[in-house]
Amino acid sequence: MEAILLQILNGLDKGTAYALIALGLTLVFGTLGVVNFAHGALFMMGAFVAVGVQNLLTISARVRDTSITFFDAYKETPYLELWWGDVGRTIIDYAVPISVIVAIPVMLLVGLAMERGLIRHFYKRDHADQILVTFGLAIVLQEIVKGFFGANPIPVNAPQVVATSVDIGSLFGLEGITYPWWRLIYLGFSLAVIGGVFAFLHFTTFGMVVRAGMHDREMVGLLGINIQNRFTIVFGLAAVVAGLAGTMYTPILSPDYHMGMEFLVLSFVVVVVGGMGSLPGAVAAGFLLGILQSFFSMNEIKAYLPGIDQIIVYLVAVIILLVRPKGLLGKD
């Protein structure tokens, strides 16, 4: 029982990341009809917003290290700390939450620019062209990030207060199940974002038009609604969702420039498993595959089926595609 709960919890954080990326992918595919291979790069860019903010906040000056007295020693101290002391230190500590606020406008701009500059011209081209051009874009974006931040993973820390673990087992009357606070926050945050997106799509006029567009694009166009601008905004929204997923993920996994590609491949599998164009399907499949992956990494299972943890996600995808071509929750 403990072991199962633990695996579910372990699977959740990856699953949430998949779900968030897949949500955006599905939104873009459903509305714009575009298969966006650069979506993983948006996740990666969101993560590097956090790195950028952390770097900015910790711009440092060289100051004399007074704790060492027998020779002249210097150390790097962030300006924020020099100016504002403890307040400055706290601000630095909260780099990730601050990044979230920064990431929203930044990723929105990136998304809008991408749609206007490139994606828009590919609505009418076939899926192969879309895949290929966005694949090229993904390479360009990740190389630019590599140019600025280097090739190595860069650690980003969660705020001190939540850097510890929480004894989650006691809630269920089980012993010894602890779970890092940040992962719990990530889960809550993601659920809030997912809920927000669904609420937006269901309870606003804008969202209803978008959903109608997903259902029957020509019809909405015939109604004389300017679907084009709405699609641009949808793309921006998808970029923000992917970006936030990346920003918040940094304390869990130190970002490097090619993290986007790794998540992209799996997220695509998630989208297809969920049923292309089905938003609830994408979210459900994201969680499902994350948890499955974690389950099959258990030693008890690996002992029977060696290597299964490495392929389980793909295996599930293949089976679902062959048995249920429209995915778990896809429409015919």
Kindly list the residues in this chain that would bind another protein in the complex (CB under 8 A): 35, 118, 121, 127-129, 131-133, 135-140, 143-144, 146-147, 261, 265, 268-269, 272, 276, 306-307, 310-311, 314-315, 317-318, 321-322, 325
CB of 177 to another protein, least distance (A): 28
Q: How far is CA 321 from CA 225, 269, 325, in A?
A: 35, 10, 5
H or E segment to which residue 58 belongs: none
H-state helical runs in 72-126: 79-84, 86-93, 95-117
CB of 307 to another protein, least distance (A): 3
Comparing CB distances to another protein, the nearer of 54 and 267 is: 267
Q: Which residues contact 147 (CB under 8 A, 6 or more apart)?
A: none
CB of 104 to another protein, least distance (A): 27
And the tokens for 34?
Answer: 């575009």
CB atoms within 10 A of CB 332: 5
Comparing CB distances to another protein, the nearer of 253 and 317 is: 317
Comparing CB distances to another protein, the nearer of 102 and 132 is: 132
Sign of the CA dihedral with 212 first, then 122, 198, and 207 last: negative
Radius of gyration of the chain (CA): 22
Q: Could you tell me which residues are beta bridge partners of residue 63? A: 75
CB of 309 to another protein, least distance (A): 8
DSSP sequence for 259-281: HHHHHHHHHHHHHHHH-TT-HHH
Comparing CB distances to another protein, the nearer of 125 and 202 is: 125
CB of 329 to another protein, least distance (A): 16
Comparing CB distances to another protein, the nearer of 179 and 235 is: 235
Amino acid letter for position 126: D
Comparing CB distances to another protein, the nearer of 74 and 148 is: 148
CB of 19 to another protein, least distance (A): 18
Unique residue bearing structure tokens 């994606």:
119
